[in-house]
């Protein structure tokens, strides 16, 4: 173990990150997490799916002496991870019941002679006496426990063997532990800490915001037509369709197949060979769509799933979040569509009728949250994050509610009333009770607490008669953080500082009308306005297509899933920068030296041929040679914009001012590359204001910014806003 993480080690970490994995930057907290485990400290990592947990133990495993044990619950997942590491040129193996005696011996020999860096092992193999004896003889650096929520009965995937892990590790030696999970609930976290006896461990919890995912909910009407349309519009892309029952899974898979979509079913009723074969067909891209019950997904980490559709309403937001989380793990496109109808909720409620009272209450509570999420008009991302205890201070600009808002209104007295009601009842009641109180609903609880004597009693009805209105208002105030909901404690409402300040100094707050899915029209036309539609890409689409074909061919030869060869972001970058030497290839994100040597040749040849045949002046001919960094930042911006990353974040990552980023974008646009910044502009500039500025440029003599600033001098419009809309204007009309 490195006892002191000094600068030298940090530099080395970054170098190794590039050299082995081909990434030029750590993502989120990866670096500090790795430092922590390198210091020999127990480490607890909570990150959403797709955030990059694996690297947090893989990289330290490679820079320390000895072998790292990785405990993982699923054999399928293990093989996958080992394949990916092998593709990077790393010696990683797994030990589980599928190995022959000879294979087992080879793995053990590699471990004993010190060449093996990572050993993946299932908990049931770990507990075997013979394995334990062998592990005691190996020099081990630390232990990583993946999917650590399996330890907890409160998690969605409890595995009793996981509870025995700690005892065994203790038996092997005094080893530091890194535990990783994507489950955010406090109860599960507590269980993990306790069971692994790592109460002191530093916790690294990253935001659960998956910025590249587009959330959308549509009325469940004409659903089959909508589904086929949607899948056809996403032809050739990988997607998952979740259904509640096996019967629907079979039916929908059949429906897609007869409509020329390559689709297969997956559910627990299929025999295990068929199930495995169907999963492999999906991973290897022999089929595009898998139609599944929720049984599917835990064991796969295919990074390029482009859409996840919930054909039926899921039982809880936790489940919904897990399942949608399987889209766009590589940070590129990920569309999440759910079909909603209240009938589904009633069906789900019926399933619960044989449960105990507590279980039924719990299940109903989860369903209520699902209904709220579906029907509220507030930004979906704000809702989801609020549910997981995170507060987002503005709308995301990248969900259906942001893009097509329901009717909105500014209210003030209503907000004050609700907050006062919560305050006067001493923050001890839930939303139902507060609603009863302000609508003067006659009930014994209100009376028994003498709440009918409060001045807020029945005051709501004067402002709005509808009970649903108040339920929705309260929910929206929680998401906007005027109220806090104690989920662990029967959903009791509390007032934070923001709410208290508001009562004393109120102002108009924007609230949205709920969706009424019974009345909402469904559109079965082409989805030009969905996130998947239309944005002009910076990469060479023809070349990208060829690279993907080659990737599939190589994958077939090596019997690996295509994404193990190169992931989509890497191919897109190749189709942008045209690398034609090994050195250039190694500069591509996600391509380390190991991959260049293993798979690079054929790709370099293809690109070289393509560049020659099409007489392409590659970026390096024109720009890179003279001003390396400048063109790099442009390429970076183009890629990030393609991925709909906000400009503020790009500025953050690059340590540049927002104004400088905008300037780079202007250069890019003036040189003829079309960039679609709508996702960002919609988020930071009001629609009406955009229209005003746009109209101005339409009729103005010049696109000069000083002139525009002058024109808008009375309207409090910033230079940045003007420049952003000018970019939009020029891109749409000039490019």
Binding stretches for ligand ADP (CB under 6 A) = 23, 25-27, 30, 47, 49-55, 301, 303, 329-330, 567
Looking at the Cβ atoms of 30 and 386, the one nearer to Zn ion is 386
For the chain, helix, strand, coil in percent to 5 are 50, 10, 35
For the bound state, the minimum distance from the C-beta of residue 499 to Zn ion, rounded and expressed in Å, comes to 22
Q: Which residues contact 373 (CB under 8 A, 6 or more apart)?
A: 317, 320, 380, 383, 384, 387
- Name the residue among 443, 439, 496 with its Cα closest to residue 462: 439
For the bound state, the minimum distance from the C-beta of residue 636 to ligand ADP, rounded and expressed in Å, comes to 12
For the bound state, the minimum distance from the C-beta of residue 374 to ligand ADP, rounded and expressed in Å, comes to 26
For the bound state, the minimum distance from the C-beta of residue 398 to Zn ion, rounded and expressed in Å, comes to 6
- Name the residue among 631, 651, 667, 672 with its Cα closest to residue 536: 672
279 near 299, Cβ under 8 Å?
A: yes
- ∠ CA(523), CA(527), CA(532), 5° rounding? 145
Report what 51 binds from Zn ion, ligand ADP, none; CB cut-off 5-8 Å by kind: ligand ADP
For the bound state, the minimum distance from the C-beta of residue 182 to ligand ADP, rounded and expressed in Å, comes to 6
Q: Retrieve residue 546's tokens.
A: 């060829």
Report what 396 binds from Zn ion, ligand ADP, none; CB cut-off 5-8 Å by kind: Zn ion
Report what 379 binds from Zn ion, ligand ADP, none; CB cut-off 5-8 Å by kind: Zn ion
Looking at the Cβ atoms of 311 and 679, the one nearer to Zn ion is 679
For the bound state, the minimum distance from the C-beta of residue 406 to ligand ADP, rounded and expressed in Å, comes to 33
Report what 47 binds from Zn ion, ligand ADP, none; CB cut-off 5-8 Å by kind: ligand ADP
Q: Which residues, listed in sequence order, are joined to residue 557 by a DSSP beta bridge?
A: none
459 near 476, Cβ under 8 Å?
A: no
Q: Retrieve residue 413's tokens.
A: 């007295």
- Name the residue among 680, 652, 662, 725 with its Cα closest to residue 396: 680
How far is residue 24's CA from residue 14's CA, in Å, rounded to a whole number? 7
Report what 399 binds from Zn ion, ligand ADP, none; CB cut-off 5-8 Å by kind: Zn ion
Helix (H) or strand (E) holding 217, with range, is: strand 213-219
Looking at the Cβ atoms of 308 and 422, the one nearer to Zn ion is 308
Looking at the Cβ atoms of 206 and 631, the one nearer to ligand ADP is 206
278 near 290, Cβ under 8 Å?
A: yes
111 near 138, Cβ under 8 Å?
A: yes
Report what 535 binds from Zn ion, ligand ADP, none; CB cut-off 5-8 Å by kind: none
For the bound state, the minimum distance from the C-beta of residue 111 to ligand ADP, rounded and expressed in Å, comes to 23
Helix ranges, 428-567 (H) = 431-438, 444-448, 459-463, 467-479, 497-504, 541-558, 562-565
For the bound state, the minimum distance from the C-beta of residue 45 to ligand ADP, rounded and expressed in Å, comes to 9
- Name the residue among 647, 561, 654, 690 with its Cα closest to residue 302: 561
Looking at the Cβ atoms of 146 and 527, the one nearer to ligand ADP is 146
Looking at the Cβ atoms of 44 and 398, the one nearer to Zn ion is 398
Report what 446 binds from Zn ion, ligand ADP, none; CB cut-off 5-8 Å by kind: none
How far is residue 594's CA from residue 554's CA, in Å, rounded to a whole number? 16
For the bound state, the minimum distance from the C-beta of residue 332 to ligand ADP, rounded and expressed in Å, comes to 10
Looking at the Cβ atoms of 69 and 77, the one nearer to ligand ADP is 77
The sign of the torsion formed by the CA atoms of 648, 400, 217, 308 equals: negative
How far is residue 659's CA from residue 615's CA, in Å, rounded to a whole number? 35
Report what 27 binds from ligand ADP, Zn ion, none; CB cut-off 5-8 Å by kind: ligand ADP
For the bound state, the minimum distance from the C-beta of residue 396 to Zn ion, rounded and expressed in Å, comes to 3
Helix ranges, 352-412 (H) = 357-375, 380-387, 400-403
Report what 329 binds from Zn ion, ligand ADP, none; CB cut-off 5-8 Å by kind: ligand ADP
Q: Retrieve residue 238's tokens.
A: 């990988």
Report what 270 binds from Zn ion, ligand ADP, none; CB cut-off 5-8 Å by kind: none
Q: Which stretches of the chain bind Zn ion, using CB under 5 A?
A: 379, 381, 395-396, 399, 402
For the bound state, the minimum distance from the C-beta of residue 214 to Zn ion, rounded and expressed in Å, comes to 9
Cβ-proximal residue to Zn ion, closest one = 379
Q: How many CB atoms lie within 10 A of CB 453?
A: 9
For the bound state, the minimum distance from the C-beta of residue 184 to ligand ADP, rounded and expressed in Å, comes to 13
Looking at the Cβ atoms of 249 and 396, the one nearer to Zn ion is 396
Looking at the Cβ atoms of 14 and 232, the one nearer to ligand ADP is 14
List C-alpha distances in Å: 574 to 544, 556, 593. Answer: 8, 21, 15
Q: Retrieve residue 624's tokens.
A: 């890179």
Looking at the Cβ atoms of 379 and 591, the one nearer to ligand ADP is 591
- ∠ CA(416), CA(421), CA(425), 5° rounding? 150
For the bound state, the minimum distance from the C-beta of residue 630 to ligand ADP, rounded and expressed in Å, comes to 22
Q: Which residues contact 163 (CB under 8 A, 6 or more apart)?
A: 151, 195
For the bound state, the minimum distance from the C-beta of residue 658 to ligand ADP, rounded and expressed in Å, comes to 23
Looking at the Cβ atoms of 213 and 708, the one nearer to Zn ion is 213
For the bound state, the minimum distance from the C-beta of residue 206 to ligand ADP, rounded and expressed in Å, comes to 9
- Name the residue among 328, 330, 319, 318 with its Cα closest to residue 296: 319
Looking at the Cβ atoms of 27 and 232, the one nearer to ligand ADP is 27
Report what 54 binds from ligand ADP, Zn ion, none; CB cut-off 5-8 Å by kind: ligand ADP
How far is residue 382's CA from residue 431's CA, in Å, rounded to a whole number? 19
- Helices 628-642/658-670 angle, 10° precision: 90
The sign of the torsion formed by the CA atoms of 321, 324, 328, 334 equals: negative
DSSP state of 537: P
Report what 402 binds from Zn ion, ligand ADP, none; CB cut-off 5-8 Å by kind: Zn ion
Report what 567 binds from Zn ion, ligand ADP, none; CB cut-off 5-8 Å by kind: ligand ADP
Looking at the Cβ atoms of 331 and 460, the one nearer to ligand ADP is 331
Looking at the Cβ atoms of 50 and 297, the one nearer to ligand ADP is 50
Looking at the Cβ atoms of 355 and 408, the one nearer to Zn ion is 408
Q: Tally the residues of the chain.
A: 735
Q: Which residues contact 329 (CB under 8 A, 6 or more apart)?
A: 49, 50, 301, 302, 303, 304, 305
Report what 540 binds from ligand ADP, Zn ion, none; CB cut-off 5-8 Å by kind: none
């Amino acid at each position: 173990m490195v006892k002191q993480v000094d600068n030298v080690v940090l530099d080395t970490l970054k170098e190794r990150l590039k050299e082995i994995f081909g990434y030029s930057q750590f993502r989120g907290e990866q670096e500090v997490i790795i430092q922590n485990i390198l210091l020999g400290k127990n480490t607890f990592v909570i990150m959403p799916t797709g955030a990059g947990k694996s690297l947090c133990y893989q990289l330290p495993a490679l820079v320390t002496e000895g072998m790292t044990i990785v405990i993982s619950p699923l054999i399928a997942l293990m093989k996958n991870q080992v394949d990916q590491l092998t593709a990077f040129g790393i010696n990683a193996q797994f030990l589980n019941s599928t190995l022959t005696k000879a294979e087992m011996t080879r793995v053990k020999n590699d471990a004993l002679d010190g060449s093996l860096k990572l050993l993946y092992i299932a908990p049931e193999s770990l507990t075997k006496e013979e394995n334990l004896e062998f592990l005691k003889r190996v020099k081990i650096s630390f232990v990583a426990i993946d999917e650590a929520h399996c330890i907890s009965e409160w998690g969605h995937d409890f595995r009793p063997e996981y509870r025995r892990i700690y005892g065994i590790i203790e038996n092997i030696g005094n080893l530091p532990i890194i535990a990783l999970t994507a489950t955010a609930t406090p109860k599960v976290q507590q269980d993990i800490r306790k069971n692994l006896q790592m109460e002191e461990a530093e916790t690294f919890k990253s935001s659960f915001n998956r910025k590249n995912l587009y959330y959308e909910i549509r009325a469940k009407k004409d659903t089959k037509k909508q589904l086929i349309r949607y899948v056809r519009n996403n032809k050739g892309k990988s997607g998952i369709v979740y259904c509640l029952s096996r019967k629907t899974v079979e039916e929908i898979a059949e429906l897609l197949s007869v409509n020329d979509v390559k689709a297969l079913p997956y559910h627990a009723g299929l025999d295990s060979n068929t199930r495995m074969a169907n999963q492999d067909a999906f991973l290897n891209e022999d089929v595009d769509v898998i139609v599944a019950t929720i049984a599917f997904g835990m064991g796969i980490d295919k990074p390029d799933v482009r859409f996840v559709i919930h054909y039926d309403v899921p039982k809880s937001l936790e489940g919904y979040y897990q399942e949608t989380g399987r889209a766009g793990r590589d940070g590129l496109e990920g569309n999440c569509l759910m079909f909603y109808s209240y009938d589904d909720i009633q069906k789900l409620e019926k399933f619960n009728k044989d449960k105990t009272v507590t279980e039924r209450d719990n299940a109903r509570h989860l369903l209520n949250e699902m209904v709220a999420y579906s029907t509220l008009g507030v930004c979906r991302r704000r809702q989801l994050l609020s549910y997981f205890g995170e507060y987002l201070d503005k709308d995301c600009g990248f969900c259906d509610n942001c893009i097509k808002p329901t009717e909105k209104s500014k209210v003030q007295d209503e907000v004050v009333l609700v907050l006062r009601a919560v305050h006067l009842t001493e923050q001890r009641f839930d939303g139902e009770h507060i609603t009863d109180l302000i609508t003067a609903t006659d009930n014994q609880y209100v009376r028994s607490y003498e709440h009918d004597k409060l001045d807020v009693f029945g005051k709501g009805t004067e402002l709005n008669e509808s009970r649903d209105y108040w339920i929705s208002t309260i929910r929206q105030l929680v998401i906007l953080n005027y109220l806090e909901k104690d989920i662990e404690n029967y959903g009791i409402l509390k007032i934070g500082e923001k709410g208290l300040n508001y009562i004393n100094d109120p102002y108009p707050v924007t609230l949205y009308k709920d969706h009424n899915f019974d009345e909402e029209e469904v559109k079965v036309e082409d989805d030009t306005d969905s996130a998947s539609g239309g944005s002009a890409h910076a990469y060479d689409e023809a070349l990208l297509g060829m690279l993907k074909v080659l990737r599939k061919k190589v994958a077939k030869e090596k019997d690996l899933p295509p994404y193990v060869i190169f992931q989509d972001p890497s191919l897109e970058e190749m189709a942008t920068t045209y690398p034609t030497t090994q050195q250039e290839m190694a500069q591509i994100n996600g391509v380390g030296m190991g991959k260049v040597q293993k798979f690079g040749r054929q790709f370099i040849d293809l690109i070289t041929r393509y560049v020659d045949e099409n007489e392409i002046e590659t970026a390096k001919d024109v720009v890179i040679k003279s001003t390396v960094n400048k063109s790099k930042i442009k390429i970076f911006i183009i890629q990030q914009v393609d991925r709909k990353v906000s400009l503020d974040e790009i500025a953050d990552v690059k340590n540049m001012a927002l104004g400088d980023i905008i300037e780079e974008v202007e250069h890019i646009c003036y040189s003829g590359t079309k960039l679609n910044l709508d996702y960002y502009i919609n988020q930071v500039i009001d629609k009406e204001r955009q229209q005003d500025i746009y109209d101005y440029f339409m009729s103005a003599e010049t696109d000069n910014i000083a002139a525009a600033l002058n024109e808008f001098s009375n309207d409090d419009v910033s230079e940045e806003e003007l420049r952003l809309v000018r970019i939009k204007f020029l891109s749409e009309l000039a490019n």
